[in-house]
Amino acid sequence: MTTPATTSAPEEARGNLLGLPRPALEAFVAGLGGRPFRARQLMNWIYKRGAGAFADMTDLSREFRARLTLAAEVRAPEIVSVQHSADGTAKWLLRADAAQAFEMVFIPEPDRGTLCISSQVGCALDCSFCATAQQGFNRNLSTAEIVGQVWLAARELAREEASGPAPAGAARPPQLERRITNVVLMGMGEPLANFRNVVPALDILLDDFGFDLSRRRVTLSTSGLVPQIYRLAEVSNVALAVSLHAPGDALRNELVPINRKHPIAELLEACWHYLDEQNGRSVTFEYVMLDGVNDSPAQARALARLLKGHPAKVNLIPFNPFPGTRYRRSPAAVIQRFRDELIQRGVLATVRRTRGEDIDAACGQLAGRVIDRTTVRLGSKVIGFSVQP
Ligand code: SAH
């Protein structure tokens, strides 16, 4: 039996163009008998115009479109659900596989629209104050799934914009930026633990023919995987954020266990090296404010001693609680005092405004969800997926 030429290959057999940086796309196009500039045309359709169907790409020949349809596709993660916060923040739950989901969050502000994307389903780093850590590590996201979040969000935002006001109860002030101007890898997962898939995704975000974002508007946040920071310095130049959270090793060992392997002094060396290599302006140090744990004025002074004279900015994040956590958020006055101590010592510091709390979309609250409670049977052993809040 022969398959009619118009039938597409099964999904798995078709290449997902969303995962291909320009050189790989050029090679793919060449394999289909297309000239290299066809890759740039394709990227223009996919990333600049948000197209997903080859049939729409009218400046490609009919014949080439037919070949593409057989061999390739533009496949973003599937949306499981979307929630809109009263402050305009939107959170999408995306399907990773039959049972697991991951999240992305869009945060509109007057002057920018920031998309916070995930790099892994779950996380293995086990930071004690983070909701994602509680579910453990499930798997790395592919390059296509990482890039696909940005592609999908851009399309969804444009579609929502075109279809009028947000759903009931989610009235948003009209002056908020609804386009994606910034992307932060601060969702679920540790991006540097998924180096191989994250780096090509960064390339596509920055490529003139891709999303064409400025390198200062793409931020990778890491818990401090020192060897990978050195590797990143060789292949990328995006902005770097580091989850510091403590001014000394004893406390950081407890909050961010990877510190036992790569202590603060080593981590900071890697940060300064990254800036030297990239001619970067500064590293942002994230510091979650945990009541009575890391928020004293003495700890602020210790943090200032660590960073003073270096190209560093501190971003204080009020802790966002989640079910089962033993931590509490520092009171606003304590956070202000902490910030003032830093500023008085010449260290730039800001307090991150918490957004999307009403839909559990705030930093560190992304827990994904088990979307299918079916148990997996392996022989006689029954493994139930752990149910996330
Ligand atoms: N793994 C990366 C990126 C994901 S987390 C990293 O560790 O940097 C993005 C930021 O949110 C990190 O600074 C993280 O420490 C912080 N965070 C995690 N849990 C939080 C919580 N419950 N409240 C506030 N911030 C949190």
Q: Is 317 in the pocket of ligand 1 (CB under 6 A)?
A: yes
Q: Is 319 in the pocket of ligand 1 (CB under 6 A)?
A: yes
d(CA 95, CA 79): 6
The number of the ligand 1 atom at minimal distance from the alpha carbon of 188 is 4
Which residue of 221, 228, 326 sits with most ligand 1 atoms within 8 Å of its CB, as the best mutation to test the pocket?
221
The number of the ligand 1 atom at minimal distance from the alpha carbon of 327 is 22
Which residue of 119, 285, 363 sits with most ligand 1 atoms within 8 Å of its CB, as the best mutation to test the pocket?
363
CA 365 to chain centroid, in Å, comes to: 13
Q: Which of 116, 123, 127, 363 is catalytic?
A: 363
Q: Is 221 in the pocket of ligand 1 (CB under 6 A)?
A: yes
User: Are residues 86 and 358 in contact, defined by beta-carbon separation less than 8 angstroms?
Assistant: yes
Q: Is 190 in the pocket of ligand 1 (CB under 6 A)?
A: yes
Residue type, 363: C
- Verify whether residue 78 is a known catalytic residue: no
Judged by DSSP in three states, 249 sits in: helix
d(CA 280, CA 131): 31
pLDDT at 374: 43
End-to-end, the C-alpha distance of the chain in Å comes to: 50
Q: Is 133 in the pocket of ligand 1 (CB under 6 A)?
A: no
Q: Is 186 in the pocket of ligand 1 (CB under 6 A)?
A: yes
Q: Which of 26, 73, 103, 160 is catalytic?
A: 103
Which residue of 120, 126, 186 sits with most ligand 1 atoms within 8 Å of its CB, as the best mutation to test the pocket?
186
The number of the ligand 1 atom at minimal distance from the alpha carbon of 322 is 22
Residue type, 375: T
pLDDT at 359: 84
pLDDT tens digits in sequence order for the chain, 389 residues long: 333 444 444 555 789 999 999 999 999 999 999 998 999 999 999 999 999 999 999 999 999 999 999 999 999 999 999 999 999 999 999 999 888 899 999 999 999 999 999 999 999 999 999 998 888 899 999 999 999 999 999 999 999 988 875 555 555 556 899 899 999 999 999 999 999 999 999 999 999 999 999 999 999 999 999 999 999 999 999 999 999 999 999 999 999 999 999 999 999 999 999 999 988 889 999 999 999 999 999 999 999 999 999 999 999 999 999 889 999 999 999 999 999 999 999 999 999 988 888 888 777 777 766 654 443 333 333 333 333 33
What's the pTM value of the predicted model, to 2 decimals?
Answer: 0.91
Structure tokens at 312: 């560093």
User: Are residues 102 and 137 in contact, defined by beta-carbon separation less than 8 angstroms?
Assistant: no
The strand pair at 239-243 and 283-289 is best described as parallel
Structure tokens at 4: 């009619």
d(CA 259, CA 220): 18
Neighbours of 132 (CB within 10 A): 28
- Verify whether residue 12 is a known catalytic residue: no
pLDDT at 236: 96
Average pLDDT, the chain: 89
Residue nearest to atom 17 of ligand 1 (CA): 364
Residue nearest to atom 19 of ligand 1 (CA): 364
Q: How far is the CA of 241 from the centre of ligand 1 (A)?
A: 11
pLDDT at 369: 63
Q: How far is the CA of 197 from the centre of ligand 1 (A)?
A: 20
Q: Is 286 in the pocket of ligand 1 (CB under 6 A)?
A: yes
- CB under 8 Å to 226, separation ≥6 — which residues? 262, 266, 267, 270
Judged by DSSP in three states, 137 sits in: strand
